[in-house]
Structure 1
């Protein structure tokens, strides 16, 4: 369950950027190719923050679909499976253009 370690890293980053201010919400953007299960991440968040200054904070996760682009025909498609081939020309010389994101995009702070 690597989501536990991911949550610990999020806590560190949030504390550094919040600089002691109370945090209400942490906005995340996570690509589907990151192999992170959102429900497991949310569960781990409650475990990692229990009894801390972040216990009442909430994670809001925006999922980003995996997308590839064919280097031959420039066709793009959303990955609904893990077949890395172009739907347009059948080419397999593709590049991942979305879905590998893992970002904290915003912190909503509360009044102290």
Structure 2
């Protein structure tokens, strides 16, 4: 379950952010998760609950926003949503595709009190 290691990285950022502010507790954590991370929302939630135990984040709501996979053709520069794992430009049929979105795991926001 690689979601535990992904959440470990998220919690390093959360802890660093919280250490710079006076926070009573965290109410909500919002993540942006790209399709290519292969992170399952339910598994992320389980990992989140494990990491939040006995912290300022315990009881916080986790919101996971899925980010679709997007590519740019290196031949014609056309940008498109990748629908299958076969990377093919729908404009010129070239297979040289650069991933421009969908690999991220970002802490989008924290709602705190």
Question: TM-score over 0.5 for the alignment?
Answer: yes
2:61 & 2:12 partners in 1: Cα distance? Answer: 15
Gaps of 5+ in 1: none
Q: Is residue 41 of structure 1 aligned with residue 44 of structure 2?
A: yes
2:27 & 2:2 partners in 1: Cα distance? Answer: 24
Q: TM-score, normalised by structure 1?
A: 0.87
Alignment coverage as a number of residue pairs: 110
Q: Cα RMSD between the aligned structures?
A: 1.5
Deviations 1:73-101 (A, max 9, x none): 22222112101111111101111111111
1:60 & 1:90 partners in 2: Cα distance? Answer: 36
Instruction: For residue 10 of structure 1, report the CA deviation from its aligned partner.
Output: 1.9
Matches within 5 A, 1:1-112: 1-19=1-19, 21=23, 22-110=25-113
Instruction: For residue 11 of structure 1, report the CA deviation from its aligned partner.
Output: 2.0
Deviations 1:22-44 (A, max 9, x none): 11111111111111111110121
2:97 & 2:10 partners in 1: Cα distance? Answer: 31
Contact 2:69 2:99 in 1 (8 A): yes
Q: TM-score, normalised by structure 2?
A: 0.87
Gaps of 5+ in 2: none
Instruction: For residue 52 of structure 1, report the CA deviation from its aligned partner.
Output: 3.1
